Amino acid sequence: MNNFKDSFADVLFEVLDGQLEKPKLSLMIEKPKFEHLGDLAFPCFELAKIFRKAPNSIAEDLAGKIRSPFFQKVEAAGGYVNVFLEKDTVSASVIRQVLSEKEAYGDAKLGNGQAVTIDLSSPNIAKPFSMGHLRSTVIGNALALISEKCGYRAIRINHLGDWGTQFGKLIVAYKLWGNEEKVKQQPIKELLKLYVRFHEEAEDNPGLEDKARECFKKLEDGDEEAIALWKWFREESLKEFSKIYELLGISFDSTHGEAFYNDKMDRVVKLLEEKKLLNESDGAQVVELEDLPPCLIKKKDGTTLYATRDLAAAIYRHETYGFAKSLYVVGNEQTLHFKQVFSVLEKLGFGWATGLVHIPFGMMLKDGKKMSTRKGKVVLLEEVLHEAISLALEDILRKNPDLPAKEEVARQVGTGAVIFHDLKNFRMNDIEFSLEDMLRFEGETGPYVQYTHARASSLLRKGKFAESEGEIQLEDREAWPVVTALMAFPEAVKRAFAEYDPSQIAKYLIELSRAFNKYYASVRFLEENSQKQARLSLAYSVTIVLKEGLRLLGIQAPEEM
């Protein structure tokens, strides 16, 4: 709809003699709630002040002056100028544009190749990759893909949780109860058992917590045995995580975790001291902030904290990548932390700090409660993905046993179901974990969108569709909702980027799929008549946009299901 919105704004600009600027006019243009009111509407209420006339009267004057080959009818209604698009001309124009641009349709030249760093996923090593980590991983990956669609260069950073007192606990637990062979066979599961046992035993034996702190101090001081165990836990974790990232089709440009910044924090403290920003508070070092609680930089015992580490990471990333924006896809419970970190960077005089954005999201709940690794209450993402793939394969064997590459299609459908289930929700909403809902293959689901793509692809094969340069004359009135949905894709992409909200794309794909399936049920695509080529051209346009939309969510689009 955007191109025709711009055309409408151009015409309005001329007939209003430049009284309002084009960008302002374009923003004012709306899509009417009801089809009988047209395709585009311009409210005249703001013009009443300029022309000192009633909005109804202004609307009638404007309606009489507006002309365009794309407009079938223009009428005034209750202070609005309503435009009805010339359906045949517009349909041909939209289909031709999608077919000529292919996967580049909807590209936005907003970023001009500037870098955007995206801090995503960030699981803790030596702990299982739970469903709780799915959200940051898939939201962050989708935002990276959407950023690239909008002309930015996305740099994906997996800021691993590979440092902290939990490693003291784990080393103590391993030395007390660990078995090397068991850990080698099932590293993450065994390390989780040890971690959970530590917390259970510590309830009756608080002295274990002291041992853990001593052990972490040894690790910080470079004790050989502690470092060797830490490195082993880290390597085994990364091997396990890589299996999950491979299933999800996600890769990273950097896996520098917390430990990487150990030698970069002294510089941050020095910078704060030079700017006279450090103050003492109960023996700790803090930065006072105007509208926020003080940001804690060093504890009484001289150890640094997450804030110090994140300050060091932000400075390192800007020096390394020269980003225009830096996105942190981290749960909403960290909102205050990031406000403090960004505020400290601004106080340090870093102008680029205005490009730092925290992208919060709600929790993945189980039975209404947050999942807890400490208590062993986790749902493992790898198990969920394998179950989803297995159910997708069962579905294929039941409905289409002769399908080629069954296992690959099952992987695409199973992982797509899990990813889409997360991304169709606005990121700030909490999601109740339900394997049943996640793996449904009908309704507002990833498999429904994938099936629509496969259905349209099947039509193209059966109809022996070949693109032609000839004129497209689509006369079906039932096709109009599909055409208007195709027109809305570029706007959906821009909105998803502006609001850092992949659900805009997911909801758009559901709408386009519904519109196409309704149209599919109303006409005979493969009937040999004057409309066959135009109908198949529309179906091809739909496959292009569905495939590209799914790609932006990190989901593949099988041609057969």
Q: What would the mean pLDDT of 367-371 be, rounded to a whole number? A: 69
Distance CA 343, CA 337 (A): 10
Q: Which two tokens stand for residue 517?
A: 């399936």
Sheet of strand 325-329: strand arrangement = 153-157, 115-119, 325-329, 356-359
Distance CA 8, CA 4 (A): 6
pLDDT exceeds 60 at position 360: yes
pLDDT exceeds 60 at position 174: yes
Side chain identity at residue 362, one-letter code: G
For 252: left if phi > 0, alpha if psi spans -120 to 50, otherwise beta; the answer is beta
pLDDT exceeds 60 at position 2: no
pLDDT at res. 432 = 80
Distance CA 126, CA 32 (A): 54
Please say whether the beta carbons of 197 and 177 come within 8 A: yes
The position carrying tokens 């890589």 is 242
Superfamily of domain 382-552: Isoleucyl-tRNA Synthetase; Domain 1 (1.10.730.10)
Q: What would the mean pLDDT of 107-134 be, rounded to a whole number? A: 90
pLDDT at res. 303 = 65
**What secondary structure does DSSP assign to 249-291, as a single string?**
T---SB---GGGGGGGHHHHHHHHHHTT-EEEETTEEEE--SS
Closest alpha carbon to 545 in 469, 492, 503, 494: 492
Q: Which two tokens stand for residue 190?
A: 């065994």
pLDDT tens by residue, 371-430:
655 555 567 788 889 999 999 999 999 999 999 999 999 999 999 999 999 999 998 888
Q: What would the mean pLDDT of 548-555 be, rounded to a whole number? A: 98
Distance CA 242, CA 399 (A): 32
Q: Which two tokens stand for residue 398?
A: 């039941």
Closest alpha carbon to 227 in 235, 218, 236: 218
Q: Residue 518's beta-bridge partner residues? A: none
- Common-topology check for domains 115-260+321-370 and 382-552: no
pLDDT at res. 436 = 75
Among 1.10.3720.10, 3.40.50.620, 3.40.50.10490, 1.10.10.10, what is the CATH number of 115-260+321-370?
3.40.50.620
Q: Residue 148's beta-bridge partner residues? A: none
Strands 364-366 and 369-370: antiparallel
Please say whether the beta carbons of 390 and 414 come within 8 A: yes
Contacts of 554 (CB under 8 A, 6+ apart): 138, 141, 142, 145, 248, 249, 250, 419
CA-CA-CA-CA torsion sign (386, 388, 392, 395): positive
pLDDT tens by residue, 265-297:
999 999 999 999 999 888 888 999 999 999 999
pLDDT at res. 446 = 94
The rounded percent of the chain whose pLDDT value lies above 70 is 97
Write the DSSP symbol of residue 292.
S
pLDDT at res. 377 = 59
pLDDT exceeds 90 at position 486: yes
First-to-last C-alpha distance (Å) of the chain: 31
Domain residues of the chain, as ranges? Answer: 2-85, 115-260+321-370, 382-552
pLDDT at res. 176 = 94
Distance CA 440, CA 413 (A): 11
pLDDT exceeds 80 at position 434: no
pLDDT at res. 373 = 52
Q: For 241-324, where are the E strands, in sequence order?
A: 278-281, 284-287, 295-298
Closest alpha carbon to 496 in 424, 397, 405, 411: 424
Closest alpha carbon to 546 in 466, 469, 455, 465: 455
For the domain covering 2-85, report its CATH number. Answer: 3.30.1360.70
Write the DSSP symbol of residue 531.
T
pLDDT at res. 531 = 92
Closest alpha carbon to 552 in 499, 509, 488: 509
pLDDT exceeds 90 at position 129: no
pLDDT at res. 99 = 96
